[in-house]
Amino acid sequence: MLILLFSGLILSCGRCGCEPGPEPDVLSGKWKWIKTTTPTRTLSQDSEGYTRTLDLQTGYGANVISINDTLQSEIFFIKILQEDVVDGVLKSRLIQYYNQIYIKYYFKPQRHNGRPDIEVSEMMFKDYDPAADTIRHHYEFVKMC
């Protein structure tokens, strides 16, 4: 199912023992799932009956997605492949993870707790394909870990 395809994403801060550097990355921290949009429908906590969180530490190693506070799986950050910046504002970032996993993050103008909301692509394997990038997982920032 759609949710299972994405269930290998992002990091549990309690597990990593992380301490953010002096200037944390815009993605670092805990994010709360708002909804997932596909070409044919919208999924949410109310419609699906569960919650999801992302705990991201770009550059600190593992990243994990949690569903109902249960660790799903870990993926490991390798590098930022591309950043789209318009008039000095970060619009998107494509990240490569270990085992040829690619995820694109889109930064939205809405803000929560001082950070832009993000939309996250579905995980893509082998190569990032913009034509296949039609599913968006929407998150809002909660706090630093």
- pLDDT tens-place string over residues 7-38: 343 333 334 444 433 345 788 888 899 999 99
Domain span holding position 124: 2-15+28-143
Return the SS3 of 5. helix
Nearest alpha-carbon partner for 26 in 103, 118, 133, 138: 118
- Report which secondary-structure segment, H or E, holds 31: strand 29-37
| Residue 132 to residue 94: CA distance in whole angstroms | 14
Nearest alpha-carbon partner for 21 in 57, 53, 55: 57
Give the β-pairing of 89-97 and 70-86: antiparallel
**pTM confidence score:** 0.75
Tokens matching residue 27: 């993605």
Is residue 21 domain-resident?
no
Is residue 117 domain-resident?
yes
Is residue 23 domain-resident?
no
Is residue 22 domain-resident?
no
Is residue 111 domain-resident?
yes
Is residue 58 domain-resident?
yes
> Please, are residues 77 and 95 in contact by the beta-carbon 8 Å criterion?
yes
Name the domain count of the chain. 1
pLDDT of residue 60: 54
pLDDT of residue 104: 93
Is residue 84 domain-resident?
yes
Q: What is the mean pLDDT of each run of 10 residues along the chain (145 residues)?
A: 38 38 67 93 92 75 70 78 92 88 90 86 86 90 82
Is residue 20 domain-resident?
no
User: In this structure, what CATH number is given to the domain that contains residue 104?
Assistant: 2.40.128
Give the β-pairing of 62-67 and 89-97: unpaired
